[in-house]
Chains A and B, each alone.
Chain A
Amino acid sequence: AQSVSQHNHHVILSEAASLELGCNYSYGGTVNLFWYVQYPGQHLQLLLKYFSGDPLVKGIKGFEAEFIKSKFSFNLRKPSVQWSDTAEYFCAVNARNAGNMLTFGGGTRLMVKP
C-alpha cells in the first residue's frame, strides 16, 4: 500500500520568504501526485498535479512542485509567499496500479506573517 509523509507539520514564514514543503511517498510503481490546499474553514482544492512528462509542474498562484523519482519526492515550492497563502497544504498520491485510492499526507500548516 502507498503512504505519504510530510515532514514539516507547521511552518511559519514572513511575507516574501521562499517556501519549500517536503513530501515523500512510498510506492514502487507508477504514481500520480498532487498538492491540495485548504484555506481556513474551506474544503480542499487542487493546487497542482503530476501525471507524466516534465517533472517540474507549475500550478496556480505561483506554486510549483518537482517530482524526483529517485528520491520518491514531490516537494512544493513558491519563491515568494504572501499572507493569503496561509493555509494547510496536503500532498497526495494515487498509485495507478492499485485502484483509484487517493492517499494523503498528514498536512503542513503554513502561517505567513504580514
Chain B
Amino acid sequence: DAGVIQSPRHEVTEMGQEVTLRCKPISGHNSLFWYRQTMMRGLELLIYFNNNVPIDDSGMPEDRFSAKMPNASFSTLKIQPSEPRDSAVYFCASSLGGGVGAEAFFGQGTRLTVV
C-alpha cells in the first residue's frame, strides 16, 4: 500500500482565496483524522471521521473550515476564505479503528502558506 496520500504537498495562496486539501486514506482503514500543525499551537486535531461520518469536529477553528468524506477512499478539507493565520502544515491520518488496529498512519502533509 502507498500509505496515506495527501495533495498538494505545498500550496501558496492569497488571502481570501478558497483552498482545498485532499487526502486518500489507506485502503480498508475506517477512521480518518485531519490535524493542523503550527509552531505556536503544536499538533491540533481538527476533525475525525469514522466510517465516513464526522464524529468530532470540535477542533475546527471556525466556519471558514469544512471537511467532507464522500466515500471511504477520499476526504477534503476546505478553507474559504483563507487567511494568513491559516498558514500551517495540515496532516491527514487514517487508522483501522480501536483495539489492536488503532495505530494511525500519517500522510506527508500539505504545507499551506496564505499570503
Q: Which residues of A contact B (CB under 8 A)?
A: 32, 34, 36, 42-46, 49, 51, 90, 92, 94, 96, 99-104, 106-107
Contacts and interface: CB of A to CB of B under 8 A. Distances in A.
> What DSSP secondary structure best describes chain B's contact surface?
strand
> What DSSP secondary structure best describes chain A's contact surface?
strand
B98 A99 contact: yes
A104 B48 CA distance: 13
Contacts, number: 63
Contacts of B43: 44, 90, 104, 106-107
Given A100-B48, A100-B97, A106 B42 contact: yes
A45 to B, nearest CB: 7
A51 B98 CA distance: 10
Contacts of B95: 100, 102
